[in-house]
Amino acid sequence: MKTIDQLTNVEKAKIIFDLFRDEIPPLLDYFAHMAGKVASDKEELIENWNNPFINYQQWLSLAEQVSAGIKRYGKGLTKSGNVFSEQLFGGYPAIFSNHCVEQYGLRCSKSERFRQAVALFYQPLQTELASQNQYLVLEAHGGLVYAAICTDADGNNLVFDDRKTAEKEAANCQAGFVVAI
Q: Quick one: pLDDT at residue 127? A: 45
More confident residue, 146 or 39: 39
Q: Please say if the pLDDT value at position 153 is more than 90.
A: no
More confident residue, 98 or 143: 98
Q: How many CB atoms lie within 10 A of CB 107?
A: 9
Determine what percent of the chain is predicted with pLDDT higher than 90.
Answer: 54
Q: Quick one: pLDDT at residue 126? A: 53
pLDDT tens-digit series, residues 63-83: 999 999 999 999 999 999 999
SS3 content of the chain, % helix, strand, coil (to 5): 60, 10, 30
**Partners of 177 in the beta sheet?**
138
pLDDT tens-digit series, residues 3-49: 888 999 999 999 999 999 999 999 999 999 999 999 999 999 888 88
Q: Quick one: pLDDT at residue 132? A: 64
pTM for the whole structure: 0.69
The CA-atom distances, in angstroms, between 124 and each of 7, 23, 132, 170 are 14, 22, 15, 25
More confident residue, 67 or 171: 67
Q: Quick one: pLDDT at residue 137? A: 80
